[in-house]
Every structure is written in structure tokens, then in C-alpha cells.
Amino acid sequence: MRMSVIGCGYLGAVHAAAMASIGHDVVGIDVDARKIDTLSRGEAPFFEPGLQEILTEGIASGRLTFTTDMSRAKGAKVHFVGVGTPQQKDGYAADLTYVNAAIDGLLPYLSEGDLVAGKSTVPVGTSAELAPRIEATGATLVWNPEFLREGWAVQDTVDPDRLVVGVTIDPTTGTPDSDGERAADILREVYHPAVAKNTPFIVTDRPTAELVKVAANAFLATKISFINAMAEIAEVTGADVTQLADAIGHDARIGRRFLGAGIGFGGGCLPKDIRAFAARAEELGRGESVAFLREVDAINLRRRERAVELAVASLGGGVFKKNITVLGAAFKPHSDDVRDSPALDVAVRLHGLGAWVTVTDPAAIENARRIHPQLNYVHDRDEAIRGADAIILVTEWDEYRRELDPSHAGSLATGRIVIDGRNGLDAAAWRAAGWTYYGMGRP
Ligand code: UDX
């Protein structure tokens, strides 16, 4: 099927390449000429396992092209809109400038019967605002949210755990109208490999589809902040939050995933999405319904400070002129993304207190250096640890969690203090090697 993908950032670039990889004819469109040049050369503009391969393959096959020219969208049957919806500069709400610009740019090239499929994470109610403009051209608007995780983005796109499609509903029957039925059928054809595997395919109304995405992210963020709140209680009672998480996680209704206590969540999605959701609920007069999301955010931000407090306390009440090695910069492992990274935030705070901070990371150093040039960056892990008074793990890469031998680290560092900001290290092994180990929410 011929399709266009408007917006070639994280979501769009992966979506375009993934769609080509399952046999579609795809043109990726973005206003950023540099990004388009990079993608056209078949180079992944960011670190994402599997992306490079499908980009190269797609371009070689001739099924995948990239351009800044919106007119190339003409003739495509489906137009995916995957532009960013960042947090507004002066508030918490989502900034819809790029969504509106993408739709305005696309309108002249839409034909009767085309499908516009919104993928961006938007405030509930956005499709209702966009629909009249799109439908005036004879095209149909559907909302088809994306649940991809960085690091698993290709797999999540090709083989998602569910597909959600928000379509127009006939008010008398409460089921999709003929346009809606047709739209759902086209998307079944788009996602044919997943559909063939009986992946749940949920056809609903557009506001529900918009809400599914923000509700899922709000739930995940709440789960993390819940366990981090328990970590705060554990810290004053001598309890161990990791054992608590294991114990409650055995209850199938709760589940162990996303109960990893530590320095909390970051990245380009969860923090901004819960803030935008709270802001949207207020606009709708239902601020109190999700007021807890403010707490979720506050708990999350407190955990970064807690890691800094542990560093200060462990080094005798101050970090001034102490050598601290920060293991990690990315907001999570398998990613070079440093947007709202708790790891970098901890590093910057320690630097602000006068510590000599050395940051290392397997993938994110260049991105980190761009936004925080004041920190010292070292690519080699062992070089970074050499001479440290304390080390602090803030991104649980396997390079640190599994592959860093505590005795070896001890032969490089000056001090024997380790702060485990992700509860990812084997505490007993580090203690046995002579280190004083501090976890998050652990005695
Ligand atoms: C998230 C959602 O998972 C995804 O479905 C959505 O489409 C986009 O937002 P992503 O931002 O890639 O994906 O990261 P995710 O793996 O969800 O992790 C988010 C943050 O939470 C990371 O900083 C991670 O370190 C942190 N986290 C995760 C915890 O602190 N504890 C956990 O138990 C799990």
C-alpha cells in the first residue's frame, strides 16, 4: 500500500521504516532537511536497535524514500501523522503547533477517500478539532495511537501487543459508521502481519483512542511512582523496597513490571504526557480526576534529589571537590536519549554542589554533552571509574549492572562507596568486595 508518514522524528522514522519492512511503499516527510538527508542516506538519526537494518533494506528496495516536499504525500492511501507534541514552554499543556502545521501542510494534497491516521500523542479532543478541516477534502480521520518503547521501537511497531483505532461512530447504533468501517479495514491491511497473528485490534471512537494512549502512560508512570513512594516509606522503616516489589508483584493483578524503584522515570514521553494530561483535565473541568498525577510527578522528581542526598551523606556531608563517577546518562538503557533524563539530572545536581563529576555511558555521551557541556565525559568505563571517591549508577546498562566486577572497580576507584540509583547491582557482591553499598529504598 502507498503511504506517507508526516514527521520523521523518533516515532515517524521508525514507523516509516517499519512499514516499508512489511512491504508497503512509504514516503517519510519532514520539514527538517538535515534529518531527511540523514535518513535518505540510510543512516539512523538516533540509536535504536534494528532501525539501521530496516532503513538500509527499505531504501535499497526502493520502497522507502524521504523528502521535505509535502506534495509527495499526494496519491498515498494512508497519511500517518507522527509529529511531536512537546510540553509548552510556559506551561504543562501539550504544544500542538506541529500537529496543526502538519495537517495544514497536508490538506492541499489530500484526495477523496484518503485516510489520515493520527499517531502523535495528543490531548483528548484533538481529533474532534482537526476532523472538519480534513473531512472537507473528502478524506477520513482516524486516531491510531502508538505505544512503542525506545529500545524496542521496531519490534513494538511491527509486532505490537495491541492495535487501537479510533474511528467515526454512528450515533444511532453506537458502532462504526461506513467511513469508520472502511478506515478500520484499511488499517487492518496496513498492519497485516500483526493482524494475521491475531493481535488484539480494538476499534473504538476517536476520543477513546486518544485517551487510551495517555491513560496507558499515566498508569505506567503511576506504577513507578507508587513503588518509589513505598521506597520513601522503606527508607524510614528499614524495609527493602525491592523485596516488597517482588512480593506484591507475584499477585497477578499487580504484576512485577514497572515496579522498579530508583531515581524514577524520564524520557520524551512519560513526564510530558502526565503533565499534559493533568492540564487537559483541568481545561475540561475535571482537574480533580487526575490530580494524583501531580503527586506522581512530585514523587518522581523527589527521587533524583534522594540519590544526591545519599551521595552527600555517604561522602561525609558534602561532595565539594569529591570525584564522583556517574554511570549512565541516557534516561534508560538501550537508548541514547537524554530528554528529561533522571541520570543527567543527578549528575548536574552533584556538579552544582561542587563535585568533580565524570559521566560515562555506552550510547548517550554526545547527546548529553550537547545539553550539559559543563560535565566531564569519558567514553571508557574503567577510565571513568579511575580515582573516584564514589560511584553512582543512574542508568542500568548491562555494562554496569552485570559486567562491572566490583573487585575490578575497587582496583580503579579511590573510595569504596557505591550508590545504586536503579537498584540494579548485586548488593551482596559489592559489599563482599569491600564496598559500602547504598540502594534506593533499601536498608
Ligand atoms: C514509554 C511507554 O512505555 C511507551 O509505551 C510509550 O509509547 C512511550 O513512553 P519509553 O519512554 O520508551 O516508553 O520508556 P519506558 O521503558 O516506559 O521507561 C520510562 C522511564 O521509566 C525510564 O526512565 C525508566 O528508567 C523508568 N522506569 C521504568 C523506572 O524507573 N522503573 C520501572 O520499573 C520501569
- What is residue 89's predicted lDDT score, i.e. its pLDDT? 87
Domain locations along the chain: 2-199, 240-443
The one-letter amino acid code at 296 reads: V
Best residue for ligand 1 mutational test, from 212, 213, 265, 306 (most atoms within 8 Å of Cβ): 265
- CATH code of 240-443, in short, is 3.40.50.720
| Binding site feature residues for substrate | 147-150, 213, 258-262, 266, 332
ipTM for the predicted complex comes to: 0.97
Task: Output the CA 278–ligand 1 centroid distance in Å.
Answer: 19
* Shared fold status for 2-199 and 240-443: yes
Task: Determine whether 8 is an active site residue.
Answer: no
- What is residue 388's predicted lDDT score, i.e. its pLDDT? 98
- Is there an atom of ligand 1 within 6 Å of 149 CB? yes
- What is residue 90's predicted lDDT score, i.e. its pLDDT? 87
Among residues 178, 260, 273, the alpha carbon closest in space to that of 218 is found at: 273
Residue by residue, pLDDT tens for the chain (443 residues) are: 999 999 999 999 999 999 999 999 999 999 999 999 999 999 999 999 999 999 999 999 999 999 999 999 999 999 999 999 999 988 899 999 999 999 999 999 999 999 999 999 999 999 999 999 999 999 999 999 999 999 999 999 999 999 999 999 999 999 999 999 999 999 999 999 999 999 999 999 999 999 999 999 999 999 999 999 999 999 999 999 999 999 999 999 999 999 999 999 999 999 999 999 999 999 999 999 999 999 999 999 999 999 999 999 999 999 999 999 999 999 999 999 999 999 999 999 999 999 999 999 999 999 999 999 999 999 999 999 999 999 999 999 999 999 999 999 999 999 999 999 999 999 999 999 999 999 999 99
Please answer whether residues 166 and 206 qualify as being in contact, where contact means their C-beta atoms are separated by less than 8 angstroms: yes
Architecture of domain 2-199: 3-Layer(aba) Sandwich (3.40)
Alpha-carbon separation of residue 300 from 249, 258, 289, 374 (angstroms): 20, 13, 20, 25
- Is there an atom of ligand 1 within 6 Å of 87 CB? no
Atom of ligand 1 nearest to the CA of 395: 25
Task: Output the CA 329–ligand 1 centroid distance in Å.
Answer: 15
Q: Whose Cα sits closest to atom 7 in ligand 1?
A: 147
Task: Output the CA 224–ligand 1 centroid distance in Å.
Answer: 9
Q: What is the pTM of this model?
A: 0.96
From 269, 311, 355, 357, the catalytic residue: 269
Task: Output the CA 40–ligand 1 centroid distance in Å.
Answer: 30
- What is residue 435's predicted lDDT score, i.e. its pLDDT? 98
Rg, C-alpha atoms of the chain: 24
